[in-house]
Structure 1
Amino acid sequence: MAEKYIIGVDGSQHSRAALDWGLKRAAQSGASVELLHVADDSFLSESVAFLSEAQEASERMLAAEREYALESGFGGTITGTAVVGHPIGEVEEASKRADLLILGAHSGNKFAGSFFGTRAVKIAAVAHCPVAVVPAEQQDDPKPGVVVGVDGSDSAKRAIAFAAEEASFRGVPLIAVYAWMPPLTPGLEYLWSEELVESQRLAADEAIAIGTAGLASRYPDLTIERRIVQSPPVAALLQAAEDADTIVLGSRGRGGIQRLLLGSVSHGVLQTLPCTTIVTRAS
């Protein structure tokens, strides 16, 4: 069955960047597209008249974005949904019927002092399908490639599988990154001998080999670049993103409070968003 992409639209520059990215990808993969506009009812009167007016405005916005999509030359199946409600809840529900959810990154949605960060971070944490967050400002002449972190966790394994399929589909290199740091205890740094550091490097070699095992046989034409970096994970991924146009991250899970937490690495990369970043679905 053909894939279905849902693209969040609101007419902004950020939304248009996501729409352009999603339409291009859908054209390549043969996926159908559903545009989704949610009129935020958080500050609206609950009266029937106000809600009706908000619904009409949402439908007008959706119609304008659908027209933009058609004028762009997209020839695939395209539908639209306009609703009034809470954006995160509505988008989470919509993600149940999608294979990929595509959102623009709104820098204005960063909440000062908020532990949860941007709206995209929240949605990525609760979505039922992978979520692609597309920055409005793209890199100048980006190098094609897909970056993924390796750390042995279940979420990383899911991310690696998605990233390998993505890189193979696009015919671009897969850059697998394993970041490590020696435990730093103030005042006890002298206990780290060269032998102990070397043992950590050997453990890193083993970890990245295990993390990418089987990919070469599954995708014989895929170029896999394995990088072991002595650096904090977020910094390592951001550095690797200088040689790629996509990062794939793993979501930690959806149970209890965890459903609102992606993990510090995914959260940190999304807050910076150096390039299009895809967060894979938690099991």
Structure 2
Amino acid sequence: MTERTVVCWNGSPAADAALSWGSAREALHGGTVTVIDVVDAGTYLGDDDAFDRAFEAQEVELEGAIRRVRTTWPNVDVRSAVVKGDPVELLFAETGPNVLVIVGTKRRTAPRARYGWSFGARLAAGASGPVAIVPQSVPDEPPRTGIVVGVDGTPVGDRALDFAAREASLRGEQLTIVHAWQEPLAWYPTAKPDDDFLEAMRRARRELLDDRVQSISAHYASLTVESMLVHGEPVIALRDAARSASALVVGSRRLGDWKRAWLGSVSHGMILELVSPTIVVGPEEDHDD
């Protein structure tokens, strides 16, 4: 379990969804939520009066949001601040191995490319700790339950699995471990894997998945653990498994330094196909600074 929860809030419905999700999560153990409202100083360059008015208005709006949280989740300790600067850089500075940073995002209504480098994707790509991206709520949405995690046999996949198991244990919900696999591309376009090759791959993938299930079950005896082995594209498999989940957890290799970082293909694909609150967990070396 992370030691701090930080929510990026700007008064939008998506930010309210992030704040509600984070507050409900902390209410499970009477934790603390720090809400940061960043007024982008670059928007008001050369107009100090306009900036001051925007800053004061955001303070008033944030106070109202904090009152709503305290009314709904009275056992959550809520702290807040309105600050000025660049939102990505200020939120990046808040990330860390024991901090969960939460941001909201609009529901996808435009082409996928528009969301390829969204605020949440940029933050998750360069963070030094886990980042949760929460989609804006929709009216009459049914209750969500269960934690879904994708594993692939890599160290970062195992870190995501450990985070997901702790999250499921915190919530008292089922953990579903998904492993999707595809046969490697053939050197010749016309080549087709034979049945024996595919069956050998399927057995190897099943062993990998069973090993992760056994390991988690041994460490979390009271946790209900299910597994899904899917012969298919990982993004599609995770999207289908996580449609009604409380959260989806994915690992990311986080390629490059944070100023020009990129998420791995699956984690980036899940942000493009966001169907549930999604937590991106990075590799261990990102946490050693």
Native 8 Å contact 2:37 2:58 kept in 1: yes
Deviations 1:2-23 (A, max 9, x none): 9321111122211111111111
What TM-score, normalized by structure 2, do the two folds share?
0.86
SS at match of 2:254: coil
Cα distance change on mapping 1:108 and 1:61 into 2, 3 Å: farther
The residue type equivalent to 2:29 in the other structure is S
For the residues of structure 1 that align with 2:268 and 2:238, how far apart are their CA atoms?
A: 12
Q: Indicate how the Cα distance of structure 1 residues 44 and 137 shifts in structure 2: closer, same or farther if over 3 A, else same.
A: same
Between 28-37 and 73-82, the greater mean CA deviation after superposition = 73-82
The reply to whether residue 102 of structure 1 matches residue 102 of structure 2 is yes
**Cα-Cα RMSD:** 2.8
Aligned-partner SS, 1:178: strand
Aligned residue type for 1:58: Q
Cα–Cα, structure 1 residues 240 and 73, in superposed 2: closer, same or farther, change >3 Å?
A: closer
Partner of 2:176: 175
1:110/1:119 contact within 8 Å kept? no
Conserved 8 A contact 1:95-1:127: yes
The code of the aligned residue for 2:103 comes to L
- Distance between the aligned counterparts of 1:25 and 1:210, measured in 2? 29
Opposite residue 157 of structure 2, the aligned amino acid is A
* Alignment deviations for residues 127-147 of structure 1 (CA, whole Å, 9 cap, x no partner): 233212111135843452111
Tell me if structure 2 keeps the 8 A contact 1:36–1:80: yes
* Cα 1:85–1:281 shift into 2, 3 Å: same
Would the aligned equivalents of 2:70 and 2:76 in 1 still touch at CA under 8 Å? no
Q: 1:257 to 1:145 in 2, by over 3 A?
A: same
Deviation of the 1:251 alpha carbon: 2.4
Whole-Å separation in 2 of the counterparts to 1:155 and 1:137: 29
1:280 aligns with 2:281: yes
The 8 Å contact of residues 256 and 262 in structure 2, kept in 1 or not, is answered as no
Once the two structures are overlaid, the 10-residue window that deviates more, 163-172 or 66-75, is 66-75
Q: CA deviation at 1:264?
A: 1.1
Which residue of structure 2 lines up, in the alignment, with residue 244 of structure 1? 245
Contact 1:37–1:61 at 8 Å: present in 2 too? no
Give the corresponding residue for 2:75. 75
- CA drift at 1:114: 6.3
Deviation at 1:28, TM superposition (A): 0.9
Q: What is the identity percentage for the equivalent residue pairs of Structure 1 and Structure 2?
A: 32
- Residue pairs, 1:61-210, within 5 angstroms: 61-96=61-96, 99-107=99-107, 113=113, 116-137=116-137, 140-142=141-143, 144-185=145-186, 187-190=189-192, 192-210=193-211
> What's the TM-score once normalised by structure 1's chain length?
0.88
User: Which structure 2 segments of 5+ residues have no match?
Assistant: 285-289
Name which of structure 1's ranges 172-181 and 138-147 shifts more when overlaid on structure 2. Answer: 138-147
CA contact (8 A) 1:254 1:282 kept: no
Cα 1:238–1:2 shift into 2, 3 Å: closer
User: SS of the residue aligned with 2:6?
Assistant: strand
Describe the shift of the 1:177–1:40 C-alpha distance in structure 2 as closer, same or farther (beyond 3 A): same
What secondary structure does 1:90 align onto?
helix
> In 2, Cα distance between the equivalents of 1:260 and 1:109?
26
CA contact (8 A) 2:255 2:261 kept: yes
Number of the residue aligned with 1:235 = 236
Residue 56 of structure 2: aligned partner: 56
State the distance in 1 between where 2:52 and 2:109 align: 26
- The verdict on how the C-alpha distance between 1:52 and 1:142 changes in structure 2, with shifts beyond 3 A counting, is closer
Deviates more, 1:264-273 or 1:179-188: 179-188
Q: Deviation at 1:53?
A: 3.9
Amino acid at match of 2:148: V
Report how far residue 157 of structure 1 moved.
0.9
Structure 1 unaligned runs (5+)? none
Once residues 82 and 44 of structure 2 are traced to their aligned partners in structure 1, the CA distance between those partners, rounded to angstroms, is 16
Taking structure 1 as reference, are residues 31 and 97 closer, same or farther at Cα in structure 2, changes over 3 Å only? farther
Q: Give the deviation of 1:62 after TM superposition.
A: 2.3
Equivalent position SS for 1:43: helix
* Post-superposition offset of 1:121: 0.8
